A and B are shown apart, each in its own frame.
Chain A
Amino acid sequence: MIHFENVGLRYGMGPEILRDMTFDIPKRSFQFLTGPSGAGKTTLLRLLFMSLHPTRGIIHMFGRDLSQIPRAELPMLRRRVGIVFQDFRLLDHLTTYENVALPLRVRGKEESSYRNDVIELLKWVGLGERINVLPAVLSGGEKQRAAIARALMDQPEILLADEPTGNVDPPMARRLLNLFLELNRLGTAVVIATHDLALMDQVDARRMILTEGRLDIYE
């Protein structure tokens, strides 16, 4: 589904943050992306989200060479990728329901056509009772589940999560992990960037370890 070949990236005239990255993200796969702070996890996720172009190397997204895709087409391709952040990035003036429905709203869909789907998804992530609540009232775990629901709303083929458990307590981290596993079981590829070893130890999954810009993969 995603293929990186000899990808390297440097910011400005600085040193290479990522070096000689060659790997695949297969369909329906589950993997952790880990490494010390500053190793380039977020940069790699940005590359996976097509938000950043590599300085060198080739990236194939969904069978297409990224360098050959016009910029105007990128939003369409990004719709096949869901992304979740440590700081949730929910819009404070919108309710949980409106935040989760945002991906469908930007696609120009009528509210009546997706209302039930959004409510079902919110129930599925355990926010059925928090539909009309603003993010300020939600707990950290609830915010993260709302952010996950938003990322899943348009049925992405891959979900990228950047430190999704960074702002929640261990029991909630466990619940979120279960949510990701359930999602993967249903067919979505998942990449979780984390440096939480305890979280990774709970699942026997592929580990992509970034150290000083280089990537080692343990299947």
Chain B
Amino acid sequence: MNELSRPKATKSAQSQKPESEQQAQPAGQKQARRVEMRVRPTAPILPPSNIQGNALMVVIAIMAFLACLTLGAVSMVRATASSWQSQISREITIQIKPDDGLDMNAALKKARDLALTFVGTREGTIMDESATARLLEPWLGTGLNLADLPVPRLVIVTIDEKNPPDFAGMRDLLKTEIPQAFLDDHRTWVDRLVSMAHTTVLIGMGVLVLVFTAMILTVIFATRGALSGNRHIVEVLHFVGAESSFVAGEFQKHFLKISIKGSAAGGALAAAMFAIANMWQANSLATPESDQASALFGSFTIGMGGYLGIFATMIVIALLTTLTARFTVMRTIDEIDLIRSDPARSDGLSAS
């Protein structure tokens, strides 16, 4: 490189000044002038005001809110389903249908005793007549006389979940000893719950993918808009020898700030919503509203894992936005460069 083309030090600069700029200055005055030379902190190459960030920030906040809400809802449903599943799979039920000549009380006792002979059972409870009547109350009303109706009776047997009894053997034995008995191990319910939980997770993942896709597309449009609005800056950077990765880095900084603010706002809002719902549920235990909400949605507790998930979603959104902006800028600049350099695709407007 040509070392002489530019003054490097004060002495050489003074000696190489063009005649129009040559000024004789005493050494002391020069020193004073040098001390006075102060520059402001370097301004960003891309002014923040040149990027319409507010609308994008709101969009990212909404997307982050929806993503975190979906994540929280999925984690809530999974927790509820898992709690139901463990409750149901802790017990089995023996149902005995009334029959002519059947001594119901003896049959109930016999069924309980037979069940308890199996390894893995813990306790057997015969549901008495009043409990059975309460069970039927919602449909048949109060003051029910069970002797008038052919109502089946139940024996509830709690089991060791980790070491469950041989259900098939128990079923066969009961069928042989008490033909009116029917063993329900709640497998059908458990299977349905598991499949419901899986379906909910899949739906949640689908919603998350849609939210992320919408967000990426929004960021692509926003980045292209920002590039178009700052074309003059991109052109100047091109003329001073900037690589596309440098230009992308400048845009990336802005989009990172916007996405961090947006995703933090959306994620915090979602986390606050879960926390408030949880507090409301805790403070209104045993009220009709709370019972209704619990029946519909289960517990609003998402736990530390849920909050960590929300935090992770915020990070993912910020990273996705930044990377999308980077790749969009690099791709667009490459396109601009290609078109600019190809006379067959250029309109030649800048030619003279």
Residue numbers in A under 8 Å from B37 (CB-CB): 119, 128, 131
CB-CB nearest 10 A-B residue pairs = A11-B348, A79-B241, A106-B242, A43-B351, A42-B352, A103-B240, A187-B2, A186-B4, A188-B5, A120-B13
Interface residues on B, range: 35 or more
Binding site for B on A (CB under 8 A): 9-12, 14, 17, 37-43, 46, 49-55, 71-72, 75-76, 78-80, 83, 89-91, 93-95, 97-98, 101-103, 105-108, 111, 115, 117, 119-121, 123-126, 128, 131-132, 150, 152-157, 175, 178-179, 182-183, 186-188
Quick check: B343 and A55 within 8 Å, CB to CB? yes
Question: Which residue on chain B has the smallest CB distance to residue A149?
Answer: B6
Within B192-223, the residues touching A (CB, 8 Å) are: none
Which among B16-24, B88-96, B160-168 touches the partner chain? B16-24
User: Closest CB-CB distance, B194 to chain A, in whole Å?
Assistant: 53
Q: Which residue of B lies closest to A52 (CB)?
A: B341
The DSSP consensus for interface residues of chain B is loop
Given contacts A106-B240, A117-B8, A182-B18, contact A11 B43 (CB under 8 A): no
Chain B interface (Cβ < 8 Å from any Cβ of A): 1-10, 13, 16-21, 33, 37-40, 42-43, 45, 47, 232-233, 235-244, 246, 334, 337-338, 340-348, 350-352
Min CB distance, B195 to chain A, in Å? 52
For A49, list chain B residues within 8 Å (CB).
239
In the complex, what's the smallest C-beta–C-beta distance from A142 to chain B, in angstroms?
13
* Residue on A nearest B338 in the bound complex, by CB: A71
Q: Is the beta-carbon distance between B348 and A157 smaller than 8 angstroms? A: no
Report if A132-B352 is in contact (Cβ < 8 Å); known contacts: A120-B9, A150-B240: no
Which residues on A sit within 8 Å (CB–CB) of B334? 71
Known: A53-B343, A131-B39, A155-B1. A17 touches B348 (CB 8 A): yes
Are B341's CB and A102's CB within 8 A? no
Task: State A120–B242 Cα separation when bound (angstroms).
Answer: 23
